[in-house]
Amino acid sequence: MPEIQFEPSKTTLRDMLRNDNYYVIPRFQRPFSWDGDNFADFWRDLTKDESTGYFIGPMVIWQERDSHVARVVDGQQRLTTIMMMLCAIRDKFAEFDENDLASALHQLIQKQNDDGEVTFSLIVENGSNYFPHAILQQSPNRTMKPRTEEERNLDTINKNIQQNIEDLLSKEENREAQINQLKHLRKQLLDLRIILITNDNEDDAYTIFETINSRGKNLEVVDLLKNHLLSLSRGSGNVLADGPKVQWTSMRAQLEATEKHRRLNPNRYLQHWWLSRNDYTSEQHLFSEFKGKITDKESAKKHLLWLEKDSKYYRQAMTPEILSDWGGNLVEGEQALRGLELFGVVQPAPLLLALVRAVREEHLKPGKFNTMLNVIESFHYQYTIVSKLTSSGGVSQMYAKAARDLHAASNSPGEQAAVLRAITNKLIERAPSRDQFMLAFENRFVYTKRNNSDKRIIQYTLERLTKTQHGGFKIDGPSIEHLLPQSAAKEDPDLEMTVGSIGNLLLVNNRINGRDLANKPYSEKRQIIKDRSPMSDTAGALSNETWDESDIMRRTQTIGALAFDEIWRMPNMH
């Protein structure tokens, strides 16, 4: 490999912003990702160092000769944060009606080129309107709400900056002192010392991006892979509107948090995606594996297409409730996926992705999809949730192999059946015995006001119990009721485990509120529940004349037996 040529120079932020350059965050850069701790470190270093020009390390830019466009290869997080700080100082000057000071500072934030066009000094190629409109522009739009993960990160740091400045000014006695403090902070920022490393070759810039050691956050697999894919797949030269960037952005959008669903870790997605198609590897070696597989433009384009498409399947597998079109023939599989999401298990994720991909692309019949997911959910309910057994890396590798084999057998129903039969048998071999399960179940679930960490799992168990015993129907707006009231545990603390035991719990519908049942004796509760919530009668809950510790223990055992033998039953070896 030929030696990469650099032109390092010592400079200050003031000189960087006063020259004719516009600094562009290229498409291959990761989104803004600094958190409160990163900013706190930067603020502390900046404000505690009273020497002239605090050194913030190197920044690397790629700039073609005779061009005023300087693309930031390393230093994006710091430069973005610094620009937000300058904007916050400008806005405070404006609040003090120091409009000349505000305008003078804004001329460093927004410049006019030789043609009279006005452009911000820092431009984000991949960015939305949020950064320029809500932060950079003079009189920023305070009504804009952050929508993406990057925008939320920007909003968080921007608020931290504003709060830190307010705290700084609150220590001053009068308006003049506050303005002087703002001027001092402005000077500290503009005097920041930087070693600017300039390179005019784009290919070298991509290489630098992978190897540079900066003071910012360490690069993750998702950052490195984005750079590698976009580096190989570029071609038109139009970095503002190209297909590969759109595909990558679409993939990331699938993984982002919204009001309806949680964020999915993009690095974890990449590993699960890899394991669903390729040989097993650890996260530590994942990028090296990707890089070895993706060596030219054609393979980069294929992988971008696969990653974007599969991100939708991954979202469906990890948060199945967001999808409304599972349809009647997939409803059992959806229910199992919901259970696995609740359990929080990650080992089966590559196989879950492979199963959803196969059924969505019509390579796998819905019946086999449902059956396999029921087996996986049943195994983890018995093994992970109730018995609390821990697994070694062997389980993860087992799931990954099944995912890979299922993907390879996508055009052969016979081979698919063999793959699913093999993984099913392996899960059966690892599942706890009935005696192990029943022993663990007796004391596994306790729910009281003081002990409520397992509430969601307990409610899910009771919901599945209700559906099993009442023809698949479920209770509307269910809440958990204690047959022996919790007040009994107040009178006798030794009863808390008994009162909270799952054998003392049942679901009631939203036509019964807490005041209706309150601390009533069992006989009265039983009649109210029978009249208003008949489906609450599960595992003999409303069959007794009296209700005591022995009844609770018997019902706990009954629920455990139903869970093992019917609801989460493992199939026979085949």
How do the domains of the chain map onto residue ranges? 7-216, 220-318, 340-432, 445-567
| pLDDT range class, residue 59, cuts 50, 70, 90 | confident
Pick 285 or 182 by higher pLDDT: 182
Q: Which amino acid is at 22?
A: Y
Highest-scoring range by mean pLDDT, 13-27, 312-326, 505-519, 544-558? 544-558
- Of residues 227 and 485, more confidence is placed in 485
Q: Rounded mean pLDDT of 534-552?
A: 94
Average pLDDT value for residue range 185-209:
80
Mean pLDDT lowest among 154-163, 202-211, 293-302, 392-401: 202-211
pLDDT tens digit sequence for 143-166: 999 988 889 999 999 999 999 999
Rounded to two decimals, the pTM is 0.72
Q: Under 8 Å CB-to-CB from 340, ≥6 apart: which residues?
A: 348, 352, 373, 376, 377, 380
- DSSP 3-state of 391: coil
Please say if the pLDDT value at position 240 is more than 50. Answer: no
Contacts of 382-386 with C-beta under 8 Å, sequence gap 24+, read 382/431, 382/432, 382/437, 382/564, 382/568, 382/570, 383/430, 383/431, 383/432, 384/343, 384/345, 385/343, 385/444, 385/457, 386/432, 386/437, 386/440, 386/441, 386/444, 386/563
Token pair recorded at residue 9: 């120079």
Among the listed residues 550, 568, 451, the one whose alpha carbon sits nearest the alpha carbon of residue 504? 550
Structure tokens at 295: 């060596």
- 342-361 pLDDT, tens per residue? 999 999 999 999 999 999 99
Sign of CA dihedral 213, 219, 223, 224: positive
Average pLDDT (41-69) is 81
Query: Which DSSP symbol is given to 408?
Result: H
